[in-house]
Amino acid sequence: MIQILSRYTATTEERNGNIVVVATRKPATMPSYMSHRSRYGDTFENLSARYLGSPLFYWKIADINPQVGFPDYIPVGTNIRIPR
């Protein structure tokens, strides 16, 4: 069985007599996290690979770091929260 980790959940609703699938964002919860001070070349993808085991989980880091506007360029010295 494949476990899908997403920040969205799918539900079905009836609209105008039709059944539609609606994706809704799961309620935000503040996970526990550790801090990382960014270094030259850090991106959310490579931080995700290093700390979370896969670059595909970059969105977990992005969700709790709204102060970073462009995840492929993180200014050196920025405090980044990494979920545990």
pLDDT value for 29? 64
Mean pLDDT of the chain: 86
Structural domains for the chain: 31-84 (3.10.350.10)
* pLDDT single digits (tens) 22-56: 888 777 665 688 999 999 999 999 999 999 999 99
Torsion of CA 33, 5, 76, 80, to 10 degrees: -20
Record the tokens describing residue 45, joined without a space: 């993808």
pTM of the model: 0.62
Record the tokens describing residue 15, joined without a space: 């609209």
